[in-house]
Chains A and B, each alone.
Chain A
Amino acid sequence: RKEVEQDPGPFNVPEGATVAFNCTYSNSASQSFFWYRQDCRKEPKLLMSVYSSGNEDGRFTAQLNRASQYISLLIRDSKLSDSATYLCVVNLNQAGTALIFGKGTTLSVSS
């Protein structure tokens, strides 16, 4: 079983749509969770951290379910500029451990 699994998509949605991405992770000792965004031919950048209580940043909402080892990202009112690959990321929070990335979910928002 892969450490971090995501539906690769692509998700093709019109502007204004609501879209949800899901992710599961295999290591129950994982402590930190993130969503990163990667634009074509660019480096990954942090979109938002994910907390058990859920957190929201504008049109983006992230949720974590530790019991199910499941992470989600909801994007409301999609914009053309949201088109990118969204990477689910986990970390064990032990010194020197690296972020483990999922393969990413590709989103394409069209007008």
Chain B
Amino acid sequence: DTAVSQTPKYLVTQMGNDKSIKCEQNLGHDTMYWYKQDSKKFLKIMFSYNNKELIINETVPNRFSPKSPDKAHLNLHINSLELGDSAVYFCASSHPSGDPEAFFGQGTRLTVV
């Protein structure tokens, strides 16, 4: 039973398009995240949602917008895709108290052509 699932696993799209990546967790965690892993393999936090409120919003372009319909979901919408957006996007969730171990989804490999 998958704890954190994200779809699609692969996404190939043209520049200028708008796309969404979905994420769901069944762990009952309070906080969900989106990370971007670029070609140099560096995992960088993009967004964090805690109880449906945006807690962290790193300096990412406003073409990226997280949307959380409920505590179990955090979707990532990207407008006007650019070549530089090509990366692997990971969704994760954690429970902030105690040791906040993060559980990651399998990742979405986005390729913009």
Chain A residues packing against B (C-beta within 8 Å): 32, 34, 42-46, 49, 85, 87, 91, 93-101, 103-104
Contact = CB atoms under 8 A, between A and B. Distances in A.
A91 B107 contact: no
Q: Interface centre among A49, A85, A103, by most B CB within 10 Å?
A: A103
Contacts of A93: 96, 100
Contacts of A42: 106-107
A97 B41 contact: no
Judged by DSSP, the binding face of B is strand
21 contacts: A42-B107, A44-B43, A44-B90, A44-B104, A46-B102, A87-B43, A94-B96, A95-B55, A96-B49, A96-B53, A96-B55, A96-B96, A97-B56, A98-B45, A98-B56, A98-B102, A99-B33, A99-B45, A101-B43, A101-B44, A104-B43
A49 B94 CA distance: 14
Contacts of B40: 103
A46 B43 contact: no
Given A87-B43, A100-B45, A43 B56 contact: no
Contacts of B56: 96-98
Contacts of B18: none
B106 A96 contact: no
B41 A98 contact: no
Q: Interface range on chain B: under 10, 10 to 19, 20 to 34, or 35 or more?
A: 20 to 34
B106 A95 contact: no
B65 interface: no
Contact of B104 (A34, A43, A85, A103): A43
A95 B54 CA distance: 11
7 closest residue pairs by CB, A with B:
A96-B55, A96-B50, A43-B104, A101-B43, A98-B45, A98-B48, A95-B96
B31 interface: yes
Contacts of B42: 101, 103-104
Contacts of B100: 32, 91, 93, 99
Interface string B19-60: 000000000000101010000111111001110010110000
